Structure 1
Protein backbone atom coordinates (compact mmCIF):
# COMPACT_ATOMS: atom_id res chain seq x y z
CA UNK A 1 0.00 0.00 0.00
CA UNK A 2 2.85 2.39 0.73
CA UNK A 3 3.89 2.16 -2.95
CA UNK A 4 0.44 3.41 -3.99
CA UNK A 5 0.65 6.18 -1.43
CA UNK A 6 4.05 7.26 -2.77
CA UNK A 7 2.71 7.22 -6.33
CA UNK A 8 -0.32 9.33 -5.39
CA UNK A 9 1.84 11.82 -3.49
CA UNK A 10 4.21 12.25 -6.42
CA UNK A 11 1.33 12.63 -8.92
CA UNK A 12 0.01 15.54 -6.86
CA UNK A 13 3.46 17.03 -6.18
CA UNK A 14 4.53 16.88 -9.84
CA UNK A 15 1.10 17.61 -11.31
CA UNK A 16 1.59 14.79 -13.79
CA UNK A 17 0.71 11.12 -13.76
CA UNK A 18 3.28 10.20 -16.38
CA UNK A 19 6.08 12.14 -14.65
CA UNK A 20 5.31 10.42 -11.34
CA UNK A 21 5.26 7.08 -13.10
CA UNK A 22 8.65 7.67 -14.74
CA UNK A 23 10.13 8.66 -11.38
CA UNK A 24 8.90 5.38 -9.85
CA UNK A 25 9.71 3.20 -12.87
CA UNK A 26 6.11 2.78 -14.09
CA UNK A 27 4.59 3.24 -17.51
CA UNK A 28 1.74 5.77 -17.79
CA UNK A 29 -0.71 2.88 -18.18
CA UNK A 30 0.60 1.11 -15.07
CA UNK A 31 0.57 4.33 -13.04
CA UNK A 32 -3.01 5.05 -14.14
CA UNK A 33 -4.06 1.51 -13.22
CA UNK A 34 -2.46 1.79 -9.76
CA UNK A 35 -4.17 5.13 -9.13
CA UNK A 36 -7.54 3.71 -10.19
CA UNK A 37 -7.04 0.74 -7.85
CA UNK A 38 -6.22 3.08 -4.96
CA UNK A 39 -9.34 5.14 -5.62
CA UNK A 40 -11.42 1.97 -5.81
CA UNK A 41 -10.04 0.67 -2.50
CA UNK A 42 -10.81 3.99 -0.82
CA UNK A 43 -14.20 4.35 -2.46
CA UNK A 44 -13.47 7.96 -3.47
CA UNK A 45 -12.24 9.89 -6.49
CA UNK A 46 -8.93 11.52 -5.60
CA UNK A 47 -7.96 13.27 -8.82
CA UNK A 48 -9.86 14.96 -11.63
CA UNK A 49 -8.15 14.08 -14.90
CA UNK A 50 -8.52 16.07 -18.13
CA UNK A 51 -6.44 16.16 -21.28
CA UNK A 52 -4.63 19.27 -20.02
CA UNK A 53 -4.22 19.01 -16.27
CA UNK A 54 -4.71 17.07 -13.07
CA UNK A 55 -6.41 18.55 -10.03
CA UNK A 56 -7.19 16.98 -6.68
CA UNK A 57 -10.75 16.57 -5.51
CA UNK A 58 -11.56 17.77 -1.99
CA UNK A 59 -11.14 14.17 -0.79
CA UNK A 60 -7.86 13.97 -2.70
CA UNK A 61 -6.55 17.20 -1.17
CA UNK A 62 -7.23 15.98 2.36
CA UNK A 63 -5.85 12.51 1.60
CA UNK A 64 -2.68 14.05 0.13
CA UNK A 65 -2.06 15.95 3.38
CA UNK A 66 -2.45 12.75 5.38
CA UNK A 67 -0.30 10.74 2.98
CA UNK A 68 2.55 13.26 3.21
CA UNK A 69 2.49 12.94 6.98
CA UNK A 70 2.40 9.12 6.76
CA UNK A 71 5.33 8.96 4.34
CA UNK A 72 7.39 11.39 6.41
CA UNK A 73 6.79 9.29 9.51
CA UNK A 74 7.73 6.09 7.65
CA UNK A 75 10.96 7.61 6.36
CA UNK A 76 11.89 8.85 9.82
CA UNK A 77 11.13 5.45 11.34
CA UNK A 78 13.27 3.70 8.72
CA UNK A 79 16.12 6.13 9.40
CA UNK A 80 15.95 5.47 13.15
CA UNK A 81 15.96 1.69 12.66
CA UNK A 82 18.91 1.90 10.28
CA UNK A 83 20.77 4.07 12.80
CA UNK A 84 21.01 7.04 10.49
CA UNK A 85 21.19 10.51 12.03
CA UNK A 86 18.87 12.81 10.13
CA UNK A 87 20.77 15.95 9.16
CA UNK A 88 18.94 18.95 7.64
CA UNK A 89 19.24 18.77 3.85
CA UNK A 90 17.37 19.31 0.61
CA UNK A 91 15.18 22.12 -0.70
CA UNK A 92 13.19 24.14 1.85
CA UNK A 93 10.45 26.29 0.29
CA UNK A 94 9.49 29.26 2.49
CA UNK A 95 6.67 31.72 1.77
CA UNK A 96 6.28 35.09 3.51
CA UNK A 97 4.52 38.45 3.07
CA UNK A 98 6.58 40.79 0.90
CA UNK A 99 7.57 43.43 3.47
CA UNK A 100 8.02 41.03 6.36
CA UNK A 101 10.05 38.65 4.21
CA UNK A 102 12.34 41.43 3.02
CA UNK A 103 12.86 42.93 6.49
CA UNK A 104 12.76 39.94 8.84
CA UNK A 105 13.30 36.72 6.88
CA UNK A 106 15.90 37.38 4.18
CA UNK A 107 18.45 38.99 6.57
CA UNK A 108 18.43 35.85 8.75
CA UNK A 109 18.85 33.31 5.96
CA UNK A 110 22.67 33.58 5.66
CA UNK A 111 23.24 32.44 9.26
CA UNK A 112 20.80 29.55 8.79
CA UNK A 113 22.42 28.42 5.54
CA UNK A 114 25.89 28.72 7.08
CA UNK A 115 24.78 26.43 9.90
CA UNK A 116 23.08 23.96 7.54
CA UNK A 117 25.09 23.88 4.29
CA UNK A 118 23.18 20.90 2.88
CA UNK A 119 19.92 22.91 2.85
CA UNK A 120 18.88 24.96 -0.17
CA UNK A 121 16.19 27.63 0.36
CA UNK A 122 13.57 28.99 -2.04
CA UNK A 123 12.02 32.18 -0.60
CA UNK A 124 8.67 33.15 -2.11
CA UNK A 125 7.35 36.63 -1.25
CA UNK A 126 3.65 37.31 -1.79
CA UNK A 127 1.12 39.39 0.13
CA UNK A 128 -1.61 36.82 -0.51
CA UNK A 129 -2.05 33.60 1.47
CA UNK A 130 -0.01 31.00 -0.39
CA UNK A 131 -1.67 27.63 -0.91
CA UNK A 132 0.97 25.43 0.71
CA UNK A 133 -0.04 22.24 -1.06
CA UNK A 134 -0.63 23.71 -4.50
CA UNK A 135 2.65 25.64 -4.43
CA UNK A 136 4.52 22.82 -2.64
CA UNK A 137 5.57 25.21 0.12
CA UNK A 138 7.08 23.70 3.27
CA UNK A 139 6.31 26.59 5.60
CA UNK A 140 4.54 29.93 5.25
CA UNK A 141 4.92 32.88 7.58
CA UNK A 142 1.51 34.47 8.00
CA UNK A 143 0.29 37.54 9.83
CA UNK A 144 -3.25 36.59 10.68
CA UNK A 145 -5.93 36.00 13.27
CA UNK A 146 -7.58 33.14 11.37
CA UNK A 147 -7.14 29.38 11.71
CA UNK A 148 -4.57 27.89 9.30
CA UNK A 149 -6.94 25.52 7.46
CA UNK A 150 -7.52 21.80 7.18
CA UNK A 151 -4.44 19.61 7.51
CA UNK A 152 -2.23 22.52 8.57
CA UNK A 153 -0.79 23.54 11.90
CA UNK A 154 0.32 27.00 13.03
CA UNK A 155 2.82 27.94 15.72
CA UNK A 156 2.88 31.47 17.09
CA UNK A 157 6.27 33.14 16.60
CA UNK A 158 5.47 36.63 17.87
CA UNK A 159 2.57 38.99 18.50
CA UNK A 160 1.81 41.52 15.77
CA UNK A 161 1.46 44.92 17.47
CA UNK A 162 -0.04 47.62 15.24
CA UNK A 163 -0.14 51.31 16.06
CA UNK A 164 -1.64 54.45 14.53
CA UNK A 165 1.08 56.74 13.23
CA UNK A 166 1.81 59.69 10.96
CA UNK A 167 4.76 61.79 9.87
CA UNK A 168 5.44 65.01 11.85
CA UNK A 169 4.92 67.02 8.63
CA UNK A 170 1.39 65.68 8.27
CA UNK A 171 0.53 66.44 11.90
CA UNK A 172 1.89 69.97 11.56
CA UNK A 173 -0.42 70.63 8.62
CA UNK A 174 -3.54 68.81 9.79
CA UNK A 175 -3.28 68.76 13.58
CA UNK A 176 -3.07 65.94 16.11
CA UNK A 177 -6.27 63.90 16.58
CA UNK A 178 -7.31 63.53 20.21
CA UNK A 179 -9.92 60.77 19.76
CA UNK A 180 -10.98 58.08 17.30
CA UNK A 181 -13.88 60.34 16.33
CA UNK A 182 -11.37 62.94 15.13
CA UNK A 183 -10.03 60.52 12.54
CA UNK A 184 -13.11 61.18 10.41
CA UNK A 185 -11.61 64.56 9.54
CA UNK A 186 -8.19 63.21 8.60
CA UNK A 187 -6.60 61.56 5.60
CA UNK A 188 -6.35 57.84 6.35
CA UNK A 189 -4.15 55.38 4.49
CA UNK A 190 -4.81 51.65 4.12
CA UNK A 191 -4.21 48.93 1.55
CA UNK A 192 -7.34 47.47 0.00
CA UNK A 193 -7.00 44.18 1.88
CA UNK A 194 -6.35 45.82 5.26
CA UNK A 195 -9.68 47.43 6.07
CA UNK A 196 -11.68 47.94 8.16
CA UNK A 197 -9.37 48.75 11.06
CA UNK A 198 -10.05 46.66 14.17
CA UNK A 199 -8.84 48.70 17.13
CA UNK A 200 -8.86 48.17 20.86
CA UNK A 201 -7.91 49.97 24.04
CA UNK A 202 -7.78 48.80 27.64
CA UNK A 203 -11.52 49.42 27.91
CA UNK A 204 -13.11 49.12 24.47
CA UNK A 205 -12.99 47.69 20.96
CA UNK A 206 -13.93 49.53 17.79
CA UNK A 207 -14.16 48.70 14.09
CA UNK A 208 -13.35 51.68 11.91
CA UNK A 209 -14.33 51.81 8.24
CA UNK A 210 -11.49 53.42 6.30
CA UNK A 211 -11.93 55.40 3.10
CA UNK A 212 -8.27 55.45 2.11
CA UNK A 213 -6.99 58.73 0.71
CA UNK A 214 -5.19 56.74 -1.97
CA UNK A 215 -6.21 53.33 -3.30
CA UNK A 216 -3.54 50.64 -3.44
CA UNK A 217 -3.19 46.92 -2.86
CA UNK A 218 0.36 47.37 -1.54
CA UNK A 219 1.13 47.62 2.15
CA UNK A 220 4.59 48.94 1.26
CA UNK A 221 3.05 51.84 -0.66
CA UNK A 222 0.97 52.74 2.41
CA UNK A 223 4.14 52.79 4.51
CA UNK A 224 5.93 55.09 2.07
CA UNK A 225 2.93 57.44 1.86
CA UNK A 226 2.78 57.69 5.64
CA UNK A 227 6.50 58.54 5.77
CA UNK A 228 5.97 61.16 3.05
CA UNK A 229 3.36 62.92 5.19
CA UNK A 230 0.30 61.99 3.14
CA UNK A 231 -1.84 60.67 6.00
CA UNK A 232 -2.39 58.47 9.05
CA UNK A 233 -1.77 54.71 8.85
CA UNK A 234 -2.17 51.67 11.07
CA UNK A 235 1.20 49.95 10.87
CA UNK A 236 2.89 46.99 12.50
CA UNK A 237 5.82 47.75 14.77
CA UNK A 238 7.95 45.24 12.84
CA UNK A 239 7.42 47.52 9.82
CA UNK A 240 7.89 50.99 11.35
CA UNK A 241 9.71 50.40 14.64
CA UNK A 242 12.87 52.08 13.39
CA UNK A 243 10.92 55.08 12.06
CA UNK A 244 9.05 55.48 15.34
CA UNK A 245 12.34 55.38 17.25
CA UNK A 246 13.98 57.94 14.94
CA UNK A 247 11.02 60.31 14.91
CA UNK A 248 10.31 59.89 11.18
CA UNK A 249 6.86 58.73 12.31
CA UNK A 250 4.95 59.65 15.46
CA UNK A 251 2.50 57.41 17.22
CA UNK A 252 -0.93 58.98 17.68
CA UNK A 253 -3.82 57.99 19.97
CA UNK A 254 -1.47 55.81 22.04
CA UNK A 255 -4.36 54.35 24.07
CA UNK A 256 -5.45 52.50 20.92
CA UNK A 257 -3.76 49.79 18.88
CA UNK A 258 -4.69 47.11 16.39
CA UNK A 259 -6.61 44.10 17.67
CA UNK A 260 -4.33 41.86 19.72
CA UNK A 261 -5.62 38.60 18.24
CA UNK A 262 -3.41 39.06 15.16
CA UNK A 263 -0.09 37.23 15.37
CA UNK A 264 2.88 36.16 13.27
CA UNK A 265 2.63 32.42 12.67
CA UNK A 266 4.64 29.70 10.98
CA UNK A 267 2.15 27.51 9.11
CA UNK A 268 3.02 24.07 7.76
CA UNK A 269 1.47 20.71 6.99
CA UNK A 270 0.92 18.37 9.91
CA UNK A 271 3.63 15.72 10.04
CA UNK A 272 5.25 13.71 12.81
CA UNK A 273 8.14 14.02 12.85
CA UNK A 274 8.77 17.16 10.81
CA UNK A 275 11.46 17.03 8.12
CA UNK A 276 14.83 17.99 9.59
CA UNK A 277 15.28 21.10 7.42
CA UNK A 278 11.88 22.46 8.41
CA UNK A 279 12.41 21.60 12.07
CA UNK A 280 15.75 23.43 12.03
CA UNK A 281 14.27 26.51 10.33
CA UNK A 282 11.47 26.73 12.89
CA UNK A 283 14.00 26.48 15.71
CA UNK A 284 16.05 29.23 14.01
CA UNK A 285 13.01 31.54 13.91
CA UNK A 286 11.98 30.80 17.48
CA UNK A 287 15.49 31.64 18.70
CA UNK A 288 15.31 34.96 16.83
CA UNK A 289 11.88 35.98 18.10
CA UNK A 290 12.03 34.77 21.72
CA UNK A 291 11.56 36.05 24.34
CA UNK A 292 10.66 39.17 22.31
CA UNK A 293 11.10 39.85 18.59
CA UNK A 294 13.97 42.15 17.56
CA UNK A 295 11.71 45.06 16.59
CA UNK A 296 10.22 45.15 20.12
CA UNK A 297 13.52 45.07 22.04
Structure 2
Protein backbone atom coordinates (compact mmCIF):
# COMPACT_ATOMS: atom_id res chain seq x y z
CA UNK A 1 0.00 0.00 0.00
CA UNK A 2 2.35 2.70 -1.35
CA UNK A 3 5.96 3.46 -0.45
CA UNK A 4 7.55 6.90 -0.18
CA UNK A 5 10.75 8.59 0.81
CA UNK A 6 11.91 12.14 1.42
CA UNK A 7 15.31 13.81 1.57
CA UNK A 8 16.60 16.98 3.28
CA UNK A 9 20.22 18.14 3.20
CA UNK A 10 23.02 18.97 0.79
CA UNK A 11 21.91 18.81 -2.86
CA UNK A 12 22.08 15.26 -4.23
CA UNK A 13 20.85 13.48 -7.33
CA UNK A 14 17.34 12.09 -6.93
CA UNK A 15 18.64 8.80 -8.34
CA UNK A 16 20.61 8.25 -5.12
CA UNK A 17 17.43 7.25 -3.28
CA UNK A 18 15.45 5.87 -6.21
CA UNK A 19 18.04 3.60 -7.81
CA UNK A 20 21.50 3.70 -6.24
CA UNK A 21 20.87 1.85 -2.99
CA UNK A 22 20.41 -1.82 -2.13
CA UNK A 23 16.63 -1.41 -1.78
CA UNK A 24 15.79 1.96 -3.33
CA UNK A 25 12.29 3.25 -3.92
CA UNK A 26 12.03 1.82 -7.44
CA UNK A 27 13.05 -1.60 -6.09
CA UNK A 28 10.43 -1.22 -3.37
CA UNK A 29 7.83 -0.59 -6.07
CA UNK A 30 8.50 -4.12 -7.33
CA UNK A 31 9.02 -5.78 -3.95
CA UNK A 32 7.99 -4.02 -0.76
CA UNK A 33 9.50 -5.87 2.18
CA UNK A 34 7.33 -4.22 4.84
CA UNK A 35 4.22 -3.26 2.90
CA UNK A 36 0.86 -4.96 2.94
CA UNK A 37 1.14 -5.56 -0.80
CA UNK A 38 4.26 -6.69 -2.66
CA UNK A 39 3.78 -4.49 -5.75
CA UNK A 40 3.33 -0.73 -5.90
CA UNK A 41 2.87 -0.36 -9.64
CA UNK A 42 -0.11 1.99 -9.97
CA UNK A 43 1.93 5.08 -10.79
CA UNK A 44 4.60 7.20 -9.14
CA UNK A 45 5.69 10.77 -8.65
CA UNK A 46 8.55 12.97 -7.49
CA UNK A 47 8.41 16.56 -6.25
CA UNK A 48 11.50 18.69 -5.67
CA UNK A 49 12.71 22.12 -4.59
CA UNK A 50 15.56 23.95 -6.27
CA UNK A 51 16.95 25.97 -3.35
CA UNK A 52 16.02 26.48 0.29
CA UNK A 53 14.18 29.74 0.90
CA UNK A 54 13.00 30.01 -2.71
CA UNK A 55 9.84 27.91 -2.50
CA UNK A 56 7.50 30.87 -2.17
CA UNK A 57 8.95 32.42 -5.35
CA UNK A 58 9.54 29.20 -7.29
CA UNK A 59 6.99 26.49 -6.46
CA UNK A 60 8.36 22.94 -6.41
CA UNK A 61 8.74 20.95 -9.59
CA UNK A 62 6.82 17.75 -10.05
CA UNK A 63 6.81 14.72 -12.37
CA UNK A 64 4.07 12.09 -12.17
CA UNK A 65 3.09 9.12 -14.30
CA UNK A 66 0.70 6.18 -14.25
CA UNK A 67 3.52 3.91 -15.44
CA UNK A 68 5.05 1.51 -12.92
CA UNK A 69 8.17 3.28 -11.65
CA UNK A 70 10.46 0.44 -12.78
CA UNK A 71 9.11 0.74 -16.34
CA UNK A 72 9.53 4.49 -16.89
CA UNK A 73 12.68 5.36 -18.81
CA UNK A 74 11.99 9.08 -18.40
CA UNK A 75 12.10 8.75 -14.62
CA UNK A 76 15.54 7.12 -14.77
CA UNK A 77 16.80 9.86 -17.10
CA UNK A 78 15.38 12.68 -14.99
CA UNK A 79 16.55 11.24 -11.66
CA UNK A 80 20.11 10.86 -12.97
CA UNK A 81 20.34 14.61 -13.73
CA UNK A 82 18.05 16.25 -11.18
CA UNK A 83 19.93 17.52 -8.13
CA UNK A 84 17.94 18.84 -5.18
CA UNK A 85 18.39 19.66 -1.47
CA UNK A 86 14.82 18.64 -0.65
CA UNK A 87 12.55 16.22 -2.47
CA UNK A 88 9.77 13.68 -1.93
CA UNK A 89 9.11 10.58 -4.03
CA UNK A 90 6.21 8.12 -3.99
CA UNK A 91 5.18 4.83 -5.63
CA UNK A 92 1.48 4.04 -5.55
CA UNK A 93 -0.69 1.03 -4.89
CA UNK A 94 -4.30 2.08 -5.28
CA UNK A 95 -6.84 1.30 -2.59
CA UNK A 96 -9.67 1.50 -5.11
CA UNK A 97 -9.52 4.89 -6.80
CA UNK A 98 -8.58 4.99 -10.51
CA UNK A 99 -5.05 4.72 -11.85
CA UNK A 100 -4.69 8.19 -13.33
CA UNK A 101 -2.07 10.92 -13.20
CA UNK A 102 -4.13 13.23 -10.99
CA UNK A 103 -4.25 10.48 -8.36
CA UNK A 104 -0.45 10.13 -8.22
CA UNK A 105 1.52 11.73 -5.39
CA UNK A 106 3.00 14.18 -4.52
CA UNK A 107 0.07 16.56 -4.32
CA UNK A 108 0.93 20.24 -4.56
CA UNK A 109 -0.51 23.56 -3.44
CA UNK A 110 1.58 26.69 -3.90
CA UNK A 111 4.93 25.86 -2.20
CA UNK A 112 3.62 22.75 -0.43
CA UNK A 113 4.16 19.08 -1.33
CA UNK A 114 2.31 16.18 0.31
CA UNK A 115 2.64 12.37 0.13
CA UNK A 116 0.80 9.72 2.09
CA UNK A 117 0.83 5.97 2.67
CA UNK A 118 -2.23 4.39 4.21
CA UNK A 119 -5.93 4.96 3.82
CA UNK A 120 -9.10 6.52 5.09
CA UNK A 121 -11.07 3.42 6.03
CA UNK A 122 -14.56 3.43 4.54
CA UNK A 123 -13.60 6.26 2.19
CA UNK A 124 -16.32 5.61 -0.44
CA UNK A 125 -19.01 5.85 2.24
CA UNK A 126 -17.81 9.10 3.82
CA UNK A 127 -16.12 10.85 0.89
CA UNK A 128 -19.03 13.21 0.24
CA UNK A 129 -19.15 14.34 3.87
CA UNK A 130 -15.37 14.84 3.90
CA UNK A 131 -15.46 16.93 0.72
CA UNK A 132 -17.84 19.34 2.44
CA UNK A 133 -15.09 20.10 4.96
CA UNK A 134 -12.78 21.58 2.31
CA UNK A 135 -12.67 25.37 2.23
CA UNK A 136 -14.58 26.68 -0.78
CA UNK A 137 -11.55 28.72 -1.90
CA UNK A 138 -9.54 25.49 -2.22
CA UNK A 139 -12.21 23.15 -3.51
CA UNK A 140 -11.59 23.87 -7.19
CA UNK A 141 -7.95 22.81 -6.89
CA UNK A 142 -8.80 19.18 -6.11
CA UNK A 143 -7.95 17.31 -9.30
CA UNK A 144 -8.22 13.63 -8.42
CA UNK A 145 -10.32 11.25 -6.38
CA UNK A 146 -7.93 9.81 -3.78
CA UNK A 147 -8.32 9.92 -0.03
CA UNK A 148 -4.74 11.19 0.20
CA UNK A 149 -5.37 14.32 -1.87
CA UNK A 150 -8.55 14.99 0.07
CA UNK A 151 -6.65 14.65 3.37
CA UNK A 152 -4.14 17.23 2.08
CA UNK A 153 -6.85 19.73 1.16
CA UNK A 154 -8.61 19.20 4.47
CA UNK A 155 -5.32 19.93 6.24
CA UNK A 156 -4.94 23.10 4.15
CA UNK A 157 -8.50 24.05 5.07
CA UNK A 158 -7.74 23.56 8.77
CA UNK A 159 -4.63 25.75 8.78
CA UNK A 160 -1.70 23.66 7.53
CA UNK A 161 0.09 26.62 5.95
CA UNK A 162 0.31 28.54 9.25
CA UNK A 163 0.44 25.54 11.61
CA UNK A 164 1.53 22.42 9.68
CA UNK A 165 1.14 19.78 12.38
CA UNK A 166 -1.91 21.45 13.88
CA UNK A 167 -3.61 21.71 10.50
CA UNK A 168 -2.95 18.04 9.79
CA UNK A 169 -4.09 17.02 13.29
CA UNK A 170 -7.35 18.93 12.90
CA UNK A 171 -7.93 17.34 9.49
CA UNK A 172 -7.37 13.88 11.00
CA UNK A 173 -9.75 14.79 13.81
CA UNK A 174 -12.40 15.80 11.29
CA UNK A 175 -11.91 12.55 9.35
CA UNK A 176 -12.17 10.49 12.54
CA UNK A 177 -15.32 12.28 13.69
CA UNK A 178 -16.92 11.84 10.27
CA UNK A 179 -15.94 8.18 10.06
CA UNK A 180 -17.11 7.30 13.56
CA UNK A 181 -20.44 9.02 12.91
CA UNK A 182 -20.78 6.54 10.03
CA UNK A 183 -19.93 3.57 12.24
CA UNK A 184 -16.22 3.27 11.34
CA UNK A 185 -14.22 2.71 14.54
CA UNK A 186 -10.67 3.44 13.28
CA UNK A 187 -10.93 5.62 10.17
CA UNK A 188 -7.29 6.70 9.68
CA UNK A 189 -4.13 4.69 9.02
CA UNK A 190 -1.32 6.87 7.69
CA UNK A 191 2.23 7.97 7.33
CA UNK A 192 2.52 11.45 5.84
CA UNK A 193 5.39 13.45 4.39
CA UNK A 194 5.00 17.15 3.67
CA UNK A 195 7.19 20.17 3.03
CA UNK A 196 7.07 23.89 2.36
CA UNK A 197 10.57 23.99 0.90
CA UNK A 198 12.22 25.06 4.15
CA UNK A 199 11.33 22.18 6.44
CA UNK A 200 10.19 18.58 6.15
CA UNK A 201 7.53 16.99 8.35
CA UNK A 202 7.00 13.22 8.62
CA UNK A 203 4.11 11.79 10.63
CA UNK A 204 3.13 8.28 11.66
CA UNK A 205 -0.37 7.88 13.07
CA UNK A 206 -3.25 5.41 13.19
CA UNK A 207 -6.67 5.79 14.78
CA UNK A 208 -6.28 2.29 16.13
CA UNK A 209 -2.48 2.49 16.59
CA UNK A 210 -1.93 0.32 13.51
CA UNK A 211 -0.26 2.76 11.13
CA UNK A 212 2.14 1.92 8.32
CA UNK A 213 5.89 1.62 8.86
CA UNK A 214 8.13 4.70 8.84
CA UNK A 215 11.88 5.14 9.38
CA UNK A 216 14.34 8.00 9.57
CA UNK A 217 18.06 7.87 8.92
CA UNK A 218 20.37 8.04 11.91
CA UNK A 219 22.36 11.24 12.42
CA UNK A 220 25.28 11.71 10.04
CA UNK A 221 27.93 11.62 12.75
CA UNK A 222 26.76 8.19 13.93
CA UNK A 223 26.72 6.80 10.38
CA UNK A 224 30.20 8.17 9.63
CA UNK A 225 31.50 6.60 12.84
CA UNK A 226 29.89 3.23 12.14
CA UNK A 227 31.25 2.96 8.60
CA UNK A 228 34.57 4.84 8.30
CA UNK A 229 35.60 2.83 5.22
CA UNK A 230 32.52 3.64 3.12
CA UNK A 231 33.34 6.76 1.10
CA UNK A 232 29.69 7.49 0.38
CA UNK A 233 28.87 7.75 4.07
CA UNK A 234 31.95 9.85 4.83
CA UNK A 235 30.54 12.48 2.48
CA UNK A 236 27.42 12.93 4.62
CA UNK A 237 26.90 16.37 6.14
CA UNK A 238 25.31 16.98 9.53
CA UNK A 239 22.03 18.26 8.02
CA UNK A 240 21.53 15.28 5.70
CA UNK A 241 18.43 13.28 6.64
CA UNK A 242 16.23 10.71 4.90
CA UNK A 243 12.73 9.50 5.79
CA UNK A 244 11.47 6.26 4.22
CA UNK A 245 8.56 3.86 4.37
CA UNK A 246 11.09 1.07 4.71
CA UNK A 247 14.90 1.00 4.88
CA UNK A 248 16.93 1.41 1.69
CA UNK A 249 19.36 -1.29 2.80
CA UNK A 250 20.17 -3.70 5.63
CA UNK A 251 23.37 -2.22 7.11
CA UNK A 252 22.95 -2.06 10.92
CA UNK A 253 22.67 1.32 12.58
CA UNK A 254 21.52 3.34 9.57
CA UNK A 255 17.82 3.53 10.39
CA UNK A 256 15.58 4.32 13.35
CA UNK A 257 11.90 3.44 13.35
CA UNK A 258 9.59 6.39 13.91
CA UNK A 259 7.26 5.48 16.82
CA UNK A 260 3.51 5.35 16.46
CA UNK A 261 1.85 8.71 17.10
CA UNK A 262 4.99 10.73 16.34
CA UNK A 263 5.84 13.68 14.10
CA UNK A 264 9.42 14.29 12.98
CA UNK A 265 10.36 17.86 12.07
CA UNK A 266 13.51 18.04 9.93
CA UNK A 267 14.88 21.55 9.56
CA UNK A 268 18.10 23.58 9.53
CA UNK A 269 19.72 23.14 12.92
CA UNK A 270 18.25 20.78 15.49
CA UNK A 271 15.46 18.47 14.39
CA UNK A 272 12.47 17.72 16.60
CA UNK A 273 10.34 14.70 17.52
CA UNK A 274 6.91 15.54 18.96
CA UNK A 275 3.79 13.54 19.80
CA UNK A 276 1.06 13.58 17.16
CA UNK A 277 -2.62 13.01 17.87
CA UNK A 278 -5.89 13.96 16.22
CA UNK A 279 -7.47 17.27 17.27
CA UNK A 280 -11.07 18.38 17.16
CA UNK A 281 -11.20 20.92 14.31
Q: TM-score, normalised by structure 1?
A: 0.25
Query: Which is higher, the Rg of structure 1 or of structure 2?
Result: 1
The answer to which structure has the higher strand fraction is: 2
